Chain A
Amino acid sequence: MSAAHDDHHHGPAKGLSRWLYTTNHKDIGTLYLWFSFAMFLLGGTFAMVIRAELFQPGLQLVDPNFFNQMTTMHGLVMVFGAVMPAFVGLANWLIPMMIGAPDMALPRMNNWSFWILPFAFAMLSSTLLMDAGAPNFGWTFYAPLSTTYAPETVTFFIFAVHLMGASSIMGSINIIATVLNMRAPGMTMMKMPLFVWTWLITAYLLLAVMPVLAGVVTMMLFDVHFGTSFFNAAGGGDPVLFQHVFWFFGHPEVYIMILPAFGVISAIIPTFARKRLFGYDSMVYASASIAFLSFIVWAHHMFTVGMPIAGELFFMYATMLIAVPTGVKVFNWTATMFRGSMTFETPMLFAIAFVVLFTMGGFTGLMLAITPADFQYHDTYFVVAHFHYVLVPGSVFSIMAAAYYWMPKWTGHMYDERLGKLHFWMSFIGINVLFFPQHFLGLAGMPRRVPDYALQFADFNWISSIGGFMFGASQLILLVVVIKCIKGGPKATAQVWEGAQGLEWTLESPAPYHTFTTPPDPKLIHAQ
């Protein structure tokens, strides 16, 4: 706390250098959110190419190789470019304000962890323009397709993943340090908003698994360029080892993308139900148990690789167990709504859609956990439908709910409620038309990652594509809403929402450039 006292009172610098050199958590949060939105549109464009090719049987628009590049890039950009940075952006904006801290614990590292990302994705996307083409081995990049049989651009992919990993690790260190060391007096751990709790747990998950991802791509790098045989059976390696190491990262990664969403929903539902969150303590414990379980279920992605039956049973049971804490969360949200006094502004609509559709994704997740049934579901559109239900109306809807919920606090203006609701209903209908039929496609036998399909799959693919175009187009409404809200609109109050609780709502709207330079009055800190 040795910096000059004056610094706390001047506003942001002017022009581009403000964004390049900023160490302000709000600026960096804004950067992350815009970056994430740009990546969401880019990844969405790839998805539109996929859905357009799958609109009808036969090859119409792209060749199979480019199609594979699209599925790969769509997955990578959405996971690492859209969803994860969006949550980091929300964390940057909200965690200091929620725990009464003046900024993040490590502001300069914060700047660095953001600015790595545009370079990582520029490097990854540039492969699309190269002769050898972009990575075409799926976002799960199974060896040896991604090593011995990969296009030359795999090296760019490896270094891009390294950069993304470094960014995530720095971000998570920053968040842990902020939450543990920067809380205002009176803000005990069990008084922290659930968003802070779930992010703290997420940060630990990131810290544990992003280095493993870095490790696995490093091994790939060695296999590709230095003649080692980590994953090459010829040299005594094992391609299945790749899958074990990858999913040791990959399964916690799934929870990295959903835990902060739980936090967001746990903030929004009580606000619009005007009732305290039901079972705060059990929410915290449930999040922690989900995080723990995420480390011992990875091989449920690999039921068909030929594991011994004991292994299959262990991973089946462990995976089924996850349903218990996840169920607790859904029940708690329902109990929060029960006998509340509800209104249905856009954030609440997204939050309710989240609970319903995420739960449906959870149900199919439970079905996938049943090993013998998984033999039929695995690598089909049923899996595609499952993880898109938990990721799109799950993670992505929660990010949108958060954007609408806190946008008045960020910009000082209310967003256009009519447009917001239009965005919601278009997205809600679009997403279900897009992904619900994919359950049927998978059950009827359509494998995933195919550019063409047999005739009996034609109708559902047609419907699914229509839903996809509708969902894709409706995201432009969000862009309009955000720009309109930044430019003007009705003035937002400090409280913004009638039922909103928490330190960020004690600040005026828009939140000043520097907040809580002196700790908040402990009397303002209530149990959640």
Chain B
Amino acid sequence: MSNQSPTSTTKKLVRKLMLAAAGMFGFGFALVPLYDVICDITGLNGKTSGQYTVAEAETMAVSDREITVQFMAQNSEGMVWEFHPNDMQVKVHPGEVKVVSYRAKNPNDFAMIGQAIPSVAPNEAAQYLKKLECFCFAEQKLEPGEEIDMAIRFFIDENIPEKITKLTLSYSLFDLTDYSEPAQEITAR
């Protein structure tokens, strides 16, 4: 072997560089919460912000403007539930609290778990749609044939930009049922 062992300055440098590489590996993961923070602030991707307390809503002044809120539902792949809004759209004044609901039904002959993910268009409207009560991000279990109405209580922030007169709230329903058992049952049938 003709190599020399590295000098001490080299060793120190290499240690620093390795640390930097490890740091960047961590940074990759740090992008995950960082991204969520940015989404929260900018409404990127139409992600809606977290739930608001009732107290906050009561301090809101109701404005004269009228905004149309449309409701959309869609099932993600493999989700067989019937899932749709009970109202297609409502007109609201910013600051006014509204309650609407979605209906979900499990048509299968086994219990299933679903979860709905909200999204708002236009993206910039997301941060002005404040939800006081919502079924989003929560796992919902339905027994065979069970049918429920799921409520959303929300209001529109009065600071919503003038040019937004219509916004769309969409829920995507995902299937979170654990299929390790029933799947075999189905294919065996």
Contacts and interface: CB of A to CB of B under 8 A. Distances in A.
Interface of A: 1-3, 7-8, 10, 21, 23-24, 103, 105-108, 169, 172-173, 176-177, 180-181, 207-216, 218-219, 230, 233-236, 238, 240-241, 244-245, 248, 305-308, 310-311, 514
A219 B29 CA distance: 8
Contacts of A177: 6, 10, 13-14, 17
A481 to B, nearest CB: 31
Contacts of A2: 4-5
A108 B47 CA distance: 50
Given A244-B35, A308-B124, 13 more contacts: A3-B3, A105-B10, A172-B17, A173-B17, A177-B10, A181-B9, A216-B28, A233-B76, A233-B172, A238-B47, A240-B44, A240-B45, A305-B45
Contact of B6 (A7, A105, A214, A514): A105
Contacts of B47: 238
Nearest to B4: A3
A10 to B, nearest CB: 8
5 contacts: A8-B2, A180-B13, A306-B46, A308-B44, A311-B42
A8 B10 CA distance: 21
Contacts, number: 126
Contacts of B17: 172-173, 176-177, 207
A234 B45 contact: no
A215 B29 contact: yes
A308 B25 contact: no
Contact of B117 (A180, A234, A308): A234
Contact of A230 (B32, B45, B137, B172): B32
Nearest to B7: A181
Contacts of A238: 35, 39, 45, 47
B22 interface: yes
B34 to A, nearest CB: 10
Given A7-B2, A181-B10, A219-B29, A208 B44 contact: no
A308 B25 CA distance: 28
A484 B112 CA distance: 69
B1 interface: yes
A3 B1 CA distance: 9
Contact of B123 (A105, A176, A216, A306): A306
A306 B26 CA distance: 27
Q: Name, among B17, B76, B175, the residue most crowded by chain A CB atoms within 10 Å (CB to CB).
A: B17
B127 to A, nearest CB: 10
Contacts of B28: 211-216, 218-219, 245, 248
A181 B12 CA distance: 11
Interface in B120-151: 123-124, 137
A234 B43 contact: no
Contact of A245 (B14, B21, B31): B31
A142 to B, nearest CB: 15
Contacts of A23: 1-3
A402 B87 CA distance: 68
Interface residues of B, number: 43
Q: Which 9 A-B pairs have the closest CB atoms?
A: A215-B28, A234-B174, A107-B3, A211-B25, A211-B24, A212-B28, A7-B2, A23-B3, A173-B17
Contacts of A106: 6, 10, 14
A235 B13 CA distance: 42
A216 B23 CA distance: 14
Contacts of A212: 24-25, 27-28, 31
B76 A234 contact: yes
A426 B31 CA distance: 46
B13 A176 contact: yes
Nearest to A245: B31
B55 interface: no
B44 A307 contact: yes
Nearest to A103: B3
Contact of B25 (A176, A214, A244): A214
A76 B14 CA distance: 29
Contacts of A245: 28, 31-32
B176 interface: yes
Contact of B31 (A105, A214, A244, A306): A244
B20 interface: yes
Given A173-B18, A230-B32, A236-B117, A208 B3 contact: no
Given A23-B2, A236-B117, A245-B31, A207 B123 contact: no
Q: Name, among A8, A219, A234, the residue most crowded by chain B CB atoms within 10 Å (CB to CB).
A: A234
B89 interface: no
B115 interface: yes
B21 A173 contact: yes
Contact of B14 (A173, A215, A240, A241): A173
B164 to A, nearest CB: 13
B77 to A, nearest CB: 9
B124 to A, nearest CB: 6
Contacts of A180: 13
A241 B6 contact: no
A311 B111 CA distance: 43
Interface in B157-189: 172, 174-176
A403 to B, nearest CB: 26
B14 A208 contact: no
A174 to B, nearest CB: 9
Contacts of A210: 21, 24
A306 B3 contact: no
Given A106-B6, A233-B117, A238-B35, A207 B1 contact: no
Contacts of A235: 115, 176
B24 A207 contact: yes
Contacts of B76: 233-234
Nearest to B1: A23
A1 B4 contact: yes
Nearest to B42: A308
A275 B46 CA distance: 57
Given A107-B3, A234-B76, A244-B31, A308 B21 contact: no
Nearest to B23: A211
A286 to B, nearest CB: 24
Given A215-B28, A308-B124, A24 B14 contact: no
